[in-house]
Structure 1
Amino acid sequence: MSTFPDFRRFAAAFEAFDNANAEDPNPETDANGRVWPKELLYAQRMSECLARVAPGAPEAVQLAARCQHIRRWTIPRQSFPLDRPGYHRWRNSLKQYHAELAGQLLAEVGYEPAVIGRVQALVQKQQLALDPEVQLLEDVICLVFLEYYFLDFARQHPEEKVIDIVKKTWRKMSPQGQEWALQLALPLQAQGLVAKALA
């Protein structure tokens, strides 16, 4: 984690994000058998991945990574029609909600509007094709999915759909992000599915 001019404010923001995500009623077990609130574990995985691939990432990117799914469970997928337009409406609603809540918490710990606006733009993935910091965040999102969530997803869906998801995920990543993905120590089953998608 980088040291910023006001590290106490940065640490307070992380604490506020983590306290919000600690209320997630959905449990998830990590590789060591410890049970976590699901979104709290996801947020920590995002920060750990970002620190691994881009240890000098700007403060706003580190903040955005930590709050990218903040209180995600409060807007369930089932609250929108279970079709493609409903899926996109759900995702857009989540982005706006995450950005608004993150902005409130950042303001409470003393961040100025410019930083808050930057974090909100990152969380909403604005200018993805043009902004390298948004692309870095997107790369980390994809890496965390592949490393921690992909295999469970694959077990729940037909192989054809899984391969299509990998292709879509790959297209979202930068060449550097793709290189990082190829370095992940994925289980053999996951490696095989990724290889089929990239063939």
Structure 2
Amino acid sequence: MAISQKQSHAFQLFDAANGKDPNIEIYKGEEFPKELLYSLRMTDMLTRFAPNASEVLQLAARCQHICRWEIPRENYEMDRVGYLKWREELKKFHAQKAAKLLSRVGYDQDVIKEVEFLLLKKKLKKNAETQTLEDVVCLVFLQYYFEPFIKKHSEEKLLDILQKTWRKMSSQGQMAALELSISGKGKELITKAIADGAE
């Protein structure tokens, strides 16, 4: 996907912000700030899944988790209600952070509002770009972050996670998920999750 000079500048600001993440992830022997690596994975997955994605969608994908570490999960009750509250606060936080940086770059309010709309996941299953962003989020999770869950959680918990993930995805996203390069155990769990009730 070709990108404009303005978009390139926005990516630079997003990456600089995420580059401050104190949490480090090692990937292929190299250290990355965790959210910077996540943002690069989002852009890469979007390019593969939706090569003709709009500029707005490309921007939203790159800043999906911008400065996420500033609102830690531990600040909320460690139950379902606390988790959902944390997720809602994060979406608003990401949208506000992105809006400020996009304004600095010189994007007009229409573009900024569209990026905020996507980051807030409005009209999921009804808006094509919101759905594409959610598909990419799910694909990145399955490709890069599900494997560590296998070692930490029971099969029952893993199947629940997979079924919830599967229901968020479009049929195209689900097809792409089945083609991901993941472990045999991961594929086995996905197959079982689908058979056990994911639609």
TM over 0.5: yes
Length-normalised TM-score, structure 2:
0.96
Q: Deviations over 1:49-106 (max 9, x none)?
A: 0001111100000000000000000100010111111111100000000000000000
| Counterpart for residue 110 of structure 1 | 106
SS class of match (2:40): helix
Paired residues for 1:77-116 under 5 Å = 77-116=73-112
Match for 1:18: what amino acid? D
What residue ranges of structure 1 are gaps of 5+ in the alignment? none
Question: Does 1:27 find its partner at 2:18?
Answer: no
1:123 matched to 2:103? The reply is no
Name the % identity.
51
Q: Which residue of 1 aligns with 2:13?
A: 16
Deviation at residue 153 of structure 1 after TM alignment: 1.4
CA distance in structure 1 between the aligned counterparts of 2:125 and 2:169, rounded to whole angstroms: 10
Q: Name the aligned partner's letter for residue 16 of structure 1.
A: L
Cα deviation for residue 129 of structure 1 reads: 2.1
Which SS does the other structure have where 1:35 is aligned? strand
Question: Is the 1:2–1:56 Cα contact (8 Å) retained in structure 2?
Answer: no
Name the counterpart of 2:142: 146
Which segment drifts farther, 48-57 or 186-195? 186-195
Partner Cα distance (2:113, 2:193) in 1: 37
Root mean square deviation, CA, Å:
0.7
Query: Number of paired residues?
Result: 195
Equivalent-residue separation in structure 1 for 2:176 and 2:191 (angstroms): 15
Q: Can you list the C-alpha shifts for 1:86-145, whole angstroms capped at 9, x where unaligned?
A: 111100000000000000000000000000000001011001121000000000000000
The amino acid across from 2:57 in the alignment is: V
Report deviation, 1:193: 1.1
- Per the alignment, residue 157 of structure 2 pairs with 161
Q: Which amino acid aligns with 1:182?
A: L
Give 2:68's match in structure 1, choosing from 60, 67, 72: 72
Distance 2:150 2:133 in 1: 23
- Structure 2: give runs of 5+ residues left out of the alignment: none
Measure, in 2, the Cα distance between the counterparts of 1:171 and 1:140: 14
SS of alignment partner, residue 22 of structure 2: coil
Residues 43 and 69 in structure 1, CA contact (< 8 A), matched pair in contact too? yes
TM-score normalised by length of structure 1: 0.96
2:33 pairs with 1:37: yes
Partner of residue 56, structure 1: 52
What secondary structure does 1:198 align onto?
A: helix
Q: Report the equivalent of 1:179.
A: 175
* Residues 186-195 or 17-26, more deviating: 186-195
